[in-house]
């Protein structure tokens, strides 16, 4: 089992591919394939045969998978409007510590 930088329910941004720029919540991480399913991203259509549940047959949509290397956390993505400095050697913001009591 591989360890990834994202987990279920994390907010992510797609940075490459046909779905570039879309954001969503991670529904499932497929560790064997190194991919993840993201809510509303890479939708695929599945044609279902006639059955008792669907007498006419139906076309259902579900999320496809995206490689985890194309999914940084939304909090760390540079396009997010954060009032922090960007580290010049890296592409993630340096988070400044918040003072709990500013009078000190």
Residue-wise pLDDT tens digits, 5-53: 999 999 999 999 898 889 999 999 999 999 999 999 999 999 999 999 9
Residue 23: inside a domain: yes
Task: Count CB atoms within 10 A of the CB of residue 61.
Answer: 9
Q: In what side-by-side order are the strands of the sheet with 23-30? A: 11-13, 23-30, 35-38, 65-67
Residue 27: inside a domain: yes
Domain interval for residue 53: 11-76
The number of domains in the chain is 1
- Indicate whether 81 pLDDT > 60: no
Residue 103: inside a domain: no
pLDDT at 3: 86
pLDDT at 40: 93
CATH of the domain at 50: 2.30.30.30
Task: Count CB atoms within 10 A of the CB of residue 55.
Answer: 8
Q: Which residue has the higher pLDDT, 34 or 82?
A: 34
Q: What is the pLDDT of residues 58-75, one digit of tens each?
A: 999 999 999 999 999 887
Q: Which residue has the higher pLDDT, 74 or 103?
A: 74
- Region 51-56: what's the mean pLDDT? 94
Residue 61: inside a domain: yes
Q: Which residue has the higher pLDDT, 24 or 99?
A: 24
């Amino acid at each position: 089992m591989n360890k990834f930088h994202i987990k279920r329910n994390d907010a992510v941004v797609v940075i490459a591919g046909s779905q570039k720029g879309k954001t969503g919540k991670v529904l499932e991480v497929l560790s064997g394939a190194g991919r993840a399913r993201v809510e509303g991203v890479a939708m695929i259509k599945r044609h279902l045969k006639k059955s008792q549940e669907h007498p006419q047959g139906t076309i259902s949509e579900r999320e496809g998978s995206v490689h985890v290397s194309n999914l940084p956390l939304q909090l760390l993505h540079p396009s997010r409007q954060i009032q922090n400095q960007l580290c010049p050697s890296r592409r993630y913001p340096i988070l400044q510590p918040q003072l709990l009591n500013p009078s000190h």
